[in-house]
Amino acid sequence: MMRKAKTEVTSDIMLKGSADLGRRIELLAALYTKAEEKVNHSDMFRQRNMNYSMVIFGALMTVGIKLDDLLSRAIVSGTLFALTVIFCFWDRRWHKTKHGWDYSSSIYYKKMEEMVNEPNNDITYKLYYVEGERSAEWFSFQPVVFYFLIIASLTSFFLFSLLKVMP
């Protein structure tokens, strides 16, 4: 599937001030609702991503602890690290998308306010505001959990031996 160029997605769209106010508000309200749905969708995928990564991490740690062969442990440890990094990057992408849509919905709300207060003014908006992606935090709860999982997967080769000795 080909991705649209950013210029197409983020180009300005103008609603003329002389147009029907009700239809203009209806359009921005629909855009606001759609953006809020996208925020919820992104949050759901981030949580699902976190759940899968935790289950896979636990399963591979269990397998690694039960193994006696050093080569097998190294393979499981490498696989664990690779999967954890992939899940971390995936979470980052969904996190940025969530913030982009969250910012977009707040802009739509402000544009609706502006339209109600000044009905004859032209309103310019974008379908998606990429600027909002920059506000995605690097050290909120879920990213920090992924960072700990990456550190644990890096040390997992040694943790396998340590945890095997413990009763």
13 part of a folded domain? no
10 part of a folded domain? no
35 part of a folded domain? yes
Query: What are the residues whose beta carbons fall under 8 Å from the beta carbon of 80, sequence distance 6 or more?
Result: 57, 60, 61, 64, 153, 156
The whole-number pLDDT of residue 51 equals 96
75 part of a folded domain? yes
130 part of a folded domain? yes
Indicate the number of domains in the chain.
1
Cα separation values, 42 from 35, 71, 91, 156, 160, Å? 11, 38, 10, 30, 34
The whole-number pLDDT of residue 10 equals 59
* 52: containing domain: 20-162
The whole-number pLDDT of residue 153 equals 94
pTM over 0.85: no
Q: Give SS3 for 19.
A: coil
Amino acid, res. 127: L
The DSSP call for residue 13 is E
Q: Is 7 exposed, middle or buried (CB count within 10 Å of its CB: 0-12, 13-18, 19+)?
A: exposed
27 part of a folded domain? yes
9 part of a folded domain? no
Q: Is 82 exposed, middle or buried (CB count within 10 Å of its CB: 0-12, 13-18, 19+)?
A: exposed
| DSSP string of 21-77, one letter each residue | HHHHHHHHHHHHHHHHHHHHHHHHHHHHHHHHHHHHHHHHHHHHHH---HHHHHHHH
pLDDT bucket at 166, cuts 50 / 70 / 90: low
8 part of a folded domain? no
Amino acid, res. 152: A
Model confidence pLDDT, tens digit, residues 49-103: 999 999 999 999 999 999 989 999 999 999 999 999 999 999 999 999 999 999 9
